[in-house]
Amino acid sequence: MSSPYETVIGLEAHVQLATQSKAFCGDATAFGAEPNTQLSIVSLGYPGTLPRLNKKQLAYAIRLGLATKGQITKRTTFDRKNYVYADLPKGYQITQDRAPISIGGHLPIRLPDGSSKHIRLHHIHMEEDAGKSIHSAGKNYTQIDLNRAGVPLLEVVTEPDLRSADEVAAFMRELRRLVRYLGISDGNMQEGSLRCDVNISIRPHGSKTYGTRTEVKNLNSMRYARQAIAFEVQRQTELLDEGELVVQETRQFDPQRGQTFSLRTKEEAHDYRYFPDPDLPPVQITKKQIDEQRNRASQLPWLAYAHIYELLENDHKDTENIIDEPEVYFWFSQLMDAGLPPKHTAKLVLNKLLPWLREHDLQPAQCPLSAEQIGKYLQLIESGKVAAAQANAKLLPALLEQPEHKPEKLADELGLMQLQDDDFLFRLAQVVTSEFPDKVAAYKKGKKGLIGFFMGEVMKRSQGKAEPKATRAILQKLLENDA
């Protein structure tokens, strides 16, 4: 049933940066450390401590801004966002309110049907993360881990340009790819390196004004985001259908119930009382700083997509799989530079080599087979010297175990080389045809399907090693010309 309403979504995506130390002090940022071990008095906001901006955070922020074609703010400033919460030891979060590092720009996303769309960005700003509250099941208390307090984040705020959960998923996927291509974050949603607040409203189709939105906070998996969007759209639809109003509020998603519930309405909304952080002077961005990042901002997943899509002759799915991880894309690009055949190499990489590498906990760059070895292996199949099924089942595993061996020699040792010797195949074909004169006669009268029977006989007598293409050609010649 199609709804009379259109869904309108804007995102506030948080990217945790892959820096060694925190945004404003030297504390480590490693994920999974013993709780409350990566904490100094700066993270804890003790009186008299002074924050100092992590240069990497600034560099990464500029890089992401340039990659999304935002306007880099020449004089960027920091503000305090004040609120009280157990996981916020300082009582305020350092963020950027007045002059965020990047203004505008857009992220191109690709939808499941292969079409693409630009999602405009409102801005990108730098900030620090809060600690983590741990609510263990069955416990009547909450534990606080402050290791994450002060970890550097970039917040990417979109315009309300998204129209469905599919588009949200496509946006988050593209953002994940982008930050990985840029080398600024691992983009790992499970570990919370990528999360988003989803602002949702609905409006009658064709309406030019936006409806009242609700904001669902802190979704750290696409499954939850989809559930939260579906629930909110349904809830708002029912409200409007009953002539009621949507209340602008912040809501939280409950994964157990698959529902959102109200956290705070506008009336109760915290007054964050933003003000300039007196401890952090404005940062003047130099042309040199921008130029340095411009080089690093040129590895873009959508350019990778265009490059591979053309090589793979418009195969959307294989292209997506090749470019999804930058490590795979860079490796595949090297194989292409070495002149390997694109489509066959893509299939081999996706279906055989990557699964093998993952199984052995290796990165693509650590693949034991060189481009040359892979080329020779594919050539053996292409030329018909080894049957594809045999190559996949026996030759490839052997080659991966003994990557220094010549593929052809290994195939020979394993008895996998197909017989292509025309004289030998011709003699075998002669033997077979002379043994079945009635079938030869039937073939000549038009029962062309009998070619399969003769092929089978030659195969049997060659112990399956006769190369099919050559055998078929020889048999056809023999059956058609011979009197």
Task: Give the residues lining the site for ligand ADP (CB under 6 A).
Answer: 8-12, 157-160, 199-201, 210-211, 213
DSSP label of 80:
E
DSSP bridge partners of 275: 80
CB of 97: closest distance to ligand ADP in angstroms?
9
CB of 114: closest distance to ligand ADP in angstroms?
26
Nearer to ligand ADP, 10 or 150 (CB): 10
Nearer to ligand ADP, 210 or 275 (CB): 210
Whole-number Cα distances in Å, 184 to 89, 191, 344, 354, 373: 26, 15, 32, 24, 33
Rounded-to-integer distance, Cα 459 and Cα 472, Å: 11
Nearer to ligand ADP, 238 or 413 (CB): 238
CB of 369: closest distance to ligand ADP in angstroms?
46
CB of 235: closest distance to ligand ADP in angstroms?
14
Q: Which two tokens stand for residue 478?
A: 């023999």
CB of 12: closest distance to ligand ADP in angstroms?
5
Rounded-to-integer distance, Cα 384 and Cα 206, Å: 59
405 three-state secondary structure? coil
Nearer to ligand ADP, 72 or 200 (CB): 200
CB of 199: closest distance to ligand ADP in angstroms?
3
Nearer to ligand ADP, 10 or 364 (CB): 10
Rounded-to-integer distance, Cα 185 and Cα 14, Å: 11
Nearer to ligand ADP, 41 or 269 (CB): 269
Rounded-to-integer distance, Cα 262 and Cα 418, Å: 69
Nearer to ligand ADP, 196 or 474 (CB): 196
Contact 168, 175 (CB under 8 A): no
CB of 210: closest distance to ligand ADP in angstroms?
3
Nearer to ligand ADP, 266 or 477 (CB): 266
Contact 17, 57 (CB under 8 A): yes
CB of 324: closest distance to ligand ADP in angstroms?
25
Among residues 413, 401, 414, the alpha carbon closest in space to that of 373 is found at: 401
CB of 120: closest distance to ligand ADP in angstroms?
9
Q: In this structure, how many other beta carbons lie within 10 angstroms of the beta carbon of residue 478?
A: 16
Contact 219, 228 (CB under 8 A): yes
Query: What is the SS3 assignment for 418-465?
Result: CECCHHHHHHHHHHHHHHCHHHHHHHHCCCHHHHHHHHHHHHHHCCCC
b/e code 335-373 from CB counts within 10 Å (16+ = b): bbeeebbbebbbbbbbeebbeebeeeeeebeebbbebeb
Rounded-to-integer distance, Cα 367 and Cα 354, Å: 9
Nearer to ligand ADP, 97 or 292 (CB): 97
